[in-house]
């Protein structure tokens, strides 16, 4: 990526990136318009080079050509190239406008691209039902994003066990978890569907063309012409899709974490694994040194728990955080709430200088089920495409 392209993308992200937040509707409504309107697509330019950012702004105007205000909807986008590769993305349309930036990597094929936009008169919404509901007046819902942001709310439940969540707005995929209220640990049996992933017919469609590379003169003259868009292109999404349940396995969260995030060098087979994420008492310790004392036989901390010197059965100890070697002083500053697992390697450990002993601390990863309390039913849900994202034609959806 060229330095100039880096600057452009960073500025765009700062200006238009949709940050995660709990979005209260506060009087906004999603209603079909009385008169069919039109979508106005604006691009910063229609001839671009790899490394550029394509800025897209789409306004929805009603039948009287007035920009629609005080409404929430979703803009579905399809981008297709001359080779037939196609990808989808979606942005929230708030007060009649949706906008975003697409960074164009060097790997994209050169040629003509078509951008099709379809207005879906729905906002993000989860519809659910508790199976065999028993006087559930409400349930607790938690949303955890890939960036470790989270929100929680109490959701009213109807007498038939049905419920709806309409006031969360987030980017990318997230985990949504449900549990009973009032410290009731009895498991729930819930089925959900996200309305944005259901079949629909767009209210209105529009299209625009752009070119990556240097177009021939004959093609250049066609880029400003209107692009015909068919509603049928957007209406192939199928029926209501159930939420994808993240099911538990026979392995513990620490074992799953070890399998997913620990490299082969740090899997010696001779180490001891301490699961901080499974130990509620761990939060009572000031740092990892005080927590380890007494849990790893033979480990001695010299110079206090604020980061002195450590020896294990006579051998000096090397420290690693997420497999990067650090000092004992740095280890002492890590909050216990950030620690997922700790691995203790007796001497000689091949990854440590001089084959000494080692302690490896792994921090928690956002968007993973290890962040969620127990006794929750968990679903994976898809939110909106980030407002600044890399265009990847090899992915079906961004």
| Closest among 128, 133, 177 to 151, alpha carbons compared | 177
With tokens 């012409």, the residue in question is: 225
84-94 pLDDT, tens per residue? 888 999 999 99
Taking the CA atoms of residue 333, residue 335, residue 341 and residue 345 in that order, the dihedral angle to the nearest 10 degrees is 20
Higher pLDDT, 370 or 151: 151
109-128 pLDDT, tens per residue? 999 999 999 998 888 888 88
- Looking at every residue in the chain, the average pLDDT score rounds to 78
Separation of alpha carbons 124 and 142, rounded Å = 15
Structure tokens at 137: 């007046």
What is the percent of the chain with per-residue pLDDT over 70, rounded to a whole number?
77
Separation of alpha carbons 118 and 76, rounded Å = 5
Instruction: Tell if the pTM clears 0.75, that is, is over it.
Output: no
321-367 pLDDT, tens per residue? 988 888 888 888 888 888 889 998 888 888 888 888 889 999 887 65
Specify the pLDDT at position 304: 58
Which phi and psi angles does 329 have, rounded to 5°? -65, -40
Q: Which domains does the chain have, with CATH numbers?
A: 3-124+198-243+384-390 (2.60.40.1930), 126-194 (no CATH), 278-363 (2.170.130.10)
> How far is CA 368 from its chain centroid?
10
337, 313 Cβ separation under 8 angstroms: no
| Closest among 240, 286, 274, 280 to 374, alpha carbons compared | 280
């Amino acid at each position: 990526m060229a330095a100039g392209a880096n600057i452009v993308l960073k500025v765009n992200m700062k200006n238009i990136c949709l940050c995660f937040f709990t979005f209260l509707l506060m009087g906004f409504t999603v209603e079909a318009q009385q008169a069919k309107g039109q979508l106005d697509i604006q691009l910063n330019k229609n001839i671009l080079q790899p490394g550029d950012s394509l800025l897209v702004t789409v306004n929805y105007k009603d039948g009287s050509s007035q920009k629609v205000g005080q409404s929430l909807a979703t803009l579905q986008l399809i981008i297709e190239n001359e080779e037939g590769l196609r990808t989808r993305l979606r942005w929230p349309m708030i007060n009649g406008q949706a906008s975003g930036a697409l960074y164009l990597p060097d790997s994209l094929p050169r040629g003509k691209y078509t951008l099709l936009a379809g207005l879906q008169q729905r906002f993000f919404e989860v519809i659910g039902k508790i199976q065999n509901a028993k006087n559930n007046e409400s349930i607790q819902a938690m949303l955890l994003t890939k960036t470790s942001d989270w929100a929680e709310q109490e959701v009213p439940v109807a007498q038939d066990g049905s419920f709806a969540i309409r006031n969360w707005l987030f980017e990318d995929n997230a985990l949504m978890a449900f549990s009973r209220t009032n410290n009731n640990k009895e498991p729930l049996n819930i089925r959900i569907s996200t309305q944005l992933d259901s079949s629909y017919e767009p209210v209105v469609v529009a299209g625009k063309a752009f070119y990556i590379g240097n177009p021939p003169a004959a093609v250049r003259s066609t880029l400003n012409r209107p692009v015909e868009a068919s509603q049928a292109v957007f209406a192939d999404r199928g029926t209501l899709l159930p939420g994808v349940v993240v099911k538990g396995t026979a392995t513990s969260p620490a074992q799953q974490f070890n399998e997913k995030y620990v490299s082969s060098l740090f899997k010696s087979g001779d180490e001891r694994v301490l699961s901080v994420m499974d130990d509620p008492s761990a939060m009572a310790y000031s740092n990892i040194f005080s927590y380890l004392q007494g849990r790893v036989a033979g480990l001695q901390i010299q110079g206090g728990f604020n980061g002195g010197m450590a020896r294990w059965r006579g051998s000096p100890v090397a420290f690693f955080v997420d497999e990067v070697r650090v000092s004992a002083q740095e280890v002492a500053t890590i909050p216990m709430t950030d620690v997922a697992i700790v691995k203790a390697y007796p001497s000689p450990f091949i990854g440590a200088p001089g084959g000494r002993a080692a302690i490896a601390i792994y921090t928690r990863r956002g968007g993973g089920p290890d962040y969620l309390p127990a006794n929750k039913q968990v679903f994976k849900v898809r939110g909106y495409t980030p407002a600044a994202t890399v265009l990847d034609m090899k992915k079906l959806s961004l």
